[in-house]
Every structure is written in C-alpha cells, then in structure tokens.
Amino acid sequence: MSSSLVPAAPKLALLGGTSVGPITYPKFPTFTDRAIGRTAEMLRAGKLFGLGRKHVPEIGEAEEVISRYHGGRHVLATSSGHAALHSALAGLEICCGDEVITTPYTWGASISCILHQNAIPVFVDVERETGLIDPAQIEAAITPRTRAILAVHLFGQPANLQQLRAMADKHKLMLIEDGSQAHGAEIDGMRVGTVGDAAGFSCMGGKLLATTESGYMVTPHERVYWKGAMIGQHMGRSTDGGMPEDLKPYRDSLVYTYRVAPFNAVLLTEQFAKLDAELAERRRHADLLRRHLVGAKYLKLPHYAAGVKPSYHLLSFTFDSEAAGITRDTLAAALKAEGLNAVGYVPSPISDWPRLHWQDYRGPRVSWLSALEAAKVDYRNLPLPNTRWRVANALETGFDMVAPNEPMIARMAEIILKVEANLDVLREYERKAAPVMPAVRQ
C-alpha cells in the first residue's frame, strides 16, 4: 500500500492538535457516613490526644483491626509512615553504625528512618522492570556490620519476599518492609507486612488506606513492639500494661512524638472495612488497561509473575527511549498535553543527594553526617545502572480507580497509543527544540 493512503495519526495537542481529554478519577479518598460520624463524635467529646490503648479505647480497636489484617501481628499505631518505620528500626535496635542494605530508588522517608538511628544505608541496585530492590545484588553488599535488609514495596508492587526472607535468614539479618504504598499487596499468597521482622505503613491522605496523617508498625515480635513504643509513645505505653519488666527502668519521656491522633485511629478502623474492595477495583482497571495497551511498543507496564498481586498505588510505566528515539521528558510533555499527567517519581538515586555527601557538604548541619563520616562511606557516583536507567525512563501516574471508570481507562490507552503513533513528528520536534551549541573558537 502506498504510504499516501495510510491514514495520518491525529495531530498531537502538543503541536497544536486537539487533546484526547483529561484523565479524571473517582473521588478519593472517601469516608463513610459512619466514619465521619464517629470522628465528629471524638471531636465533640474532646478526645484529641491518646496516650495509648487504655487511655483511648479507639486506639486499641484500630490496632486490633490492623492486627487481624496482618495475620495477628503486634501493631503500633503512629502519627505517620516515617514514624512507623523509625519505630521499627528502634524496636529492632538497629542504630549506631549498623549497616542496612536498601534501595536508592524510593521516597526519602524509606532512608531517613535509617539515618535518624545513626545507622548506615548501603545501597544496592534495583530490578529494571519494577524498580524494586534486586535480591541478587544483596549478598555481595553484606559485611560484618550488616544488621538488616530494608525492602520497599514501591508503587504498590510487592518485593520478592521469599528471596529476601531466605537471604535474611541465611545471614542472620533482620528484614524490614516499607509497605507505605502497598497495603494489601501479595506475592505467592503472602501479604505485604507479614514476612519481615517489622514493617511500617503510611496512612496519610494520599495513600491506599487514607486517613489525614497516620501510620502503623507491625511485627511478630512482642519485644520489638515494646522497644518501638519506647522511642515515640508516651512513656513507652507502659500504662497499657504488659511491658516486659526488664524494659521498665528505661521508660521515660525522652521520646519522639509519634502518637496517633484518636480521630485518625477511628479512621484507620473504618477505612480497613473497604480497603479490599477498593484494591479489587484498582486491579481490575489495571488489567483492563493492560489489555488496551497490547499494541503499545515503547511505553510498557511491568510484567508480573504468577502469584504477584500489586495494589497499584501508582501506575509505573517504563519507556524505551532509545528505541523510540525521543527522551522520556518529551514523551511526558506529549502525554500531558493530551490529558495524562505522568512524571518520574524518583528524580535521582538517593545516593546522589548532597545531604549524604559528608566529604563536600556545605549546607545546613544534619545529624547523620558524622555517622556517615565515621563509617567512611562514600555514596558519590555509585554505578547503579538499573536505578539510573529508571530515573531516565520511568513514568508514574496516579491510579485511584476505586470505582467503575472504564471510559477513563479507554481514554488513557487512547492517549498513549496516539502519542506512540506520532513518534516521527516528536523526533523532529525534539530535534528542533534541542539547544544549539556555540561554535568553539580555535
């Protein structure tokens, strides 16, 4: 067939054409009338702070609901996801130069909890397709100072918990899970948060299980619960009863303020009642989008092995920019003009961030630099090829598809396929937009 008879792709909105239309989502988060009524009653009653389960029964109620969801583990409700992770490390007594093997491809709170214990993050590379920590990279990073592995279930994707648990057990290490973006995610029948020695979850208003600002730690170890409580709860929650006798001499008010607000404890309880139904909708819509995008060549969703059930806090695409002949940023601009906003969630490997470089840091003083200097750790210019590839090629977009919204899934696919069909003009657009380098004088 002559090329003149092939229908031209619709003109891109970026270049003056008509956009496909904005991607909209169902309202999220939502709260039931019961949840709103219960929190209003807490405010009317003046229950504005809670020192523990005995002081505010609603805190105990929330922790019991969370415990049932996580297989009967001990639960410590906290003021944030960072507080939960910090409590986990403190509960495991990881501090003072201990090394924690972790990922450089995540949100900073996954790492700052390590730094705030004066422990040392040891960064290993990630899997290119998912951005999750690569278990194959861990063993080479273990030293006599290694105490733990901290895995992040990024974007709602469960890390390989079987391999991570086996690696931790083999080397007598603790396994910590950051499930802040992955409530309810599963791998081989194992729910995130039920495999590690401790796990932290965020429940701020933008997460899968949304309150206003809260979180929780779960652990199978009772003593980890109590030691975690000692760092951030009023008198270590010792007034609740049950604190081990040998810990009681060390309870005091030298703590971070990590208590959960009582009205957020109520919201934790009520939000869990509809979590699984909302996750089912997220998964159904993700599967539908995947079917729509069978013909996409360059922008791809990850392939998941059988038994992997992400919870889809965000949708994470990878873009083969080399094969497509344009940069990820040009693609993102074209998608945004059509109505789909997608960005690179991780701007650079955390190991590149200046506040970790004690050798040449000139900014405001931070508490962890002395520990990094004492350990003589040098994060500058770590290779991390897969992490760096994802920084340049991955795109993430929100995915709060918690109620039927099939037309928006079709629109999302239409946008992606339209942009892919216009790669020739985007290559020319990018070529013309490239800055002209000044001639070098001889």
Asked, for residue 230, whether it belongs to a domain, the answer is: yes
Residue 1 has a pLDDT of 41
Q: Is 24 exposed, middle or buried (0-12, 13-18, 19+ CB in 10 A)?
A: exposed
Q: For 90-127, how does the pLDDT look when each residue is reduced to its tens digit (9 = 90+)?
A: 999 999 999 999 999 999 999 999 999 999 999 999 99
The percent of the chain in helix, strand and coil, each rounded to the nearest 5, is: 40, 15, 45
Residue 256 lies in a domain: yes
* Between 154 and 6, residue with greater pLDDT: 154
Quick check: is 253 in a domain?
Answer: yes
CB atoms within 10 A of CB 76: 29
Q: Please report the pLDDT score of residue 7 as a whole number.
A: 60
Confidence label for 169 from pLDDT (cuts 50, 70 and 90)? very high
- Domain assignment present for 413: no
Asked, for residue 436, whether it belongs to a domain, the answer is no
**Rounded Cα gap, residues 271 and 95, in angstroms:** 34
Contacts for 63 with CB less than 8 Å, ≥ 6 apart: 53, 75, 76, 77, 216
Mean pLDDT (whole number) for 327-331: 97
In this prediction, residue 439 has a pLDDT band, given cuts at 50, 70 and 90, of: very low
- pLDDT value at position 434? 73
Residue 167 lies in a domain: yes
Q: Look at 3-7, 200-204, 311-315, 414-418 and tell me which has the smallest mean pLDDT.
A: 3-7
Q: How confident is the model at residue 25 (pLDDT cuts 50, 70, 90)?
A: very high
Is the pLDDT at 190 greater than 60? The verdict is: yes
Average pLDDT for the chain = 95
| pLDDT of 129 above 50 | yes
Task: Report DSSP state, residue 345.
Answer: S
Interval 196-224 mean pLDDT: 98
Q: What is the pLDDT of residue 435?
A: 66
Contacts of the segment 133-139: beta carbons below 8 A, 24+ positions apart? 133/102, 133/103, 133/159, 133/164, 134/386, 135/160, 135/163, 135/164, 135/167, 138/101, 138/164, 138/167, 139/167, 139/171
Are residues 159 and 152 in contact, defined by beta-carbon separation less than 8 angstroms? Answer: yes
How high is the pLDDT of residue 325?
Answer: 97
**C-alpha–C-alpha distance, residues 235 and 219, integer Å:** 20
Query: What percent of the chain has pLDDT above 90?
Result: 95
pLDDT at 2: 38
Structure confidence at residue 285 as a pLDDT band (50, 70, 90): very high
Residue 423 within any structural domain of the chain: no
State in Å, rounded, how far the first CA of the chain is from the last one. 52
Look at residue 193 in the predicted model and tell me its pLDDT. Answer: 98
Where in the sequence is the domain holding 65, given as residue range(s)? 33-273
Domains of the chain: total: 1
Mapped onto helix, strand or coil, the DSSP state of residue 74 is strand
CB-based burial label for 364 (10 Å; 0-12, 13-18, 19+)? exposed
CATH for 105 = 3.40.640.10
Q: What is the mean pLDDT of residues 341-363?
A: 98
d(CA 125, CA 137): 7
Which band of pLDDT confidence, cut at 50, 70 and 90, is reported for residue 9? confident
Per-residue confidence band for 14, with pLDDT thresholds at 50, 70 and 90:
very high
The answer to whether residue 226 sits within a structural domain is yes
**Cα–Cα distance for residue pair 282/306, rounded to 1 Å:** 18
